[in-house]
Amino acid sequence: MGFSLEDIKKIVDENSFTIHEKLFKQKFDELKIINKSIYKKYTAIESWLQLIIEADLIKKNDITQVSVKYLEPSEFCYMEQNFSYNYKEVIINIDFTNYMESLSNEVAGVILLNFPSLKSRLEQRKTQVTIMQKPILKVTPETKTKSFGGQIFASCYHIGPHETLLTAYHKIYDWASKNNYSCADEAYERFVIDYWTTQNPDYFITEILIKIEKIDFSTPDPLF
């Protein structure tokens, strides 16, 4: 159980349970701290490993075509920031890290960037974005969280620098037009492999996600 020989001697030599309770409570508190530390490391490594496995499959199979996927809803911590397309600054985000530390929490796993205006993103205008990431520990009431998922998305992986991400957006638009889907006026960029894993932009893998809805041509146009 991790007791020292000196502690064990105190326990077996003591005729009352006072020293037992003190030493066991002390050990219990120590293990709680260790357990929390191990849990944070385990969660961070597991999340990162899943991204590496995903990236390896995408790269090996050259999966860069549009697909439809349903994403399970999950809660993300978030922070709104001004964005001028400096991806390194928003991905290695000191302000977001400091914010989570101020709440005695940390984030791990994939980073999501939400563009509230798809038009602004396509025109590459400076805009306000929302950076999102999953918390490792249970959030406190004052933590800002938002749900993501629970809907159908058009997905397109992009392999290469962030400066060329627009090619994936155009693929989604072309696909949606050919398959009678309408696209929501917002977009998500999901950074599978980024500056946290490699400094070579040719190895970056980013998933573009846009909510879609099938156009129902059987519904009468209200104008007619």
Q: How many CA atoms lie within 13 A of 47 on its CB side?
A: 18
User: Which ranges in the chain belong to alpha helices (H)?
Assistant: 5-13, 18-61, 87-91, 94-102, 118-122, 166-178
Buried b (16+ CB within 10 A) or exposed e, 90-108: bbebeebeebbeeeebbbb
Burial tier of 207 (Cβ tally within 10 Å: 0-12, 13-18, 19+):
buried
pLDDT band at 224 (very low <50, low <70, confident <90, very high): very low
99-126 pLDDT per residue, tens: 999 999 999 999 999 999 999 999 999 9
Q: How many CA atoms lie within 13 A of 188 on its CB side?
A: 22
SS3 percent helix, strand, coil of the chain, rounded to 5, is 40, 30, 30
142-197 pLDDT per residue, tens: 899 999 999 999 999 999 999 999 999 999 999 999 999 999 999 999 999 999 99
pLDDT at 218 over 70: no
pLDDT at 222 over 90: no
User: Which ranges in 62-150 belong to alpha helices (H)?
Assistant: 87-91, 94-102, 118-122
Closest CA to 103 of 133, 77, 131, 132: 77
Q: Which two tokens stand for residue 220?
A: 């009468």
pTM of structure: 0.86
21-44 pLDDT per residue, tens: 888 899 899 999 999 999 999 999
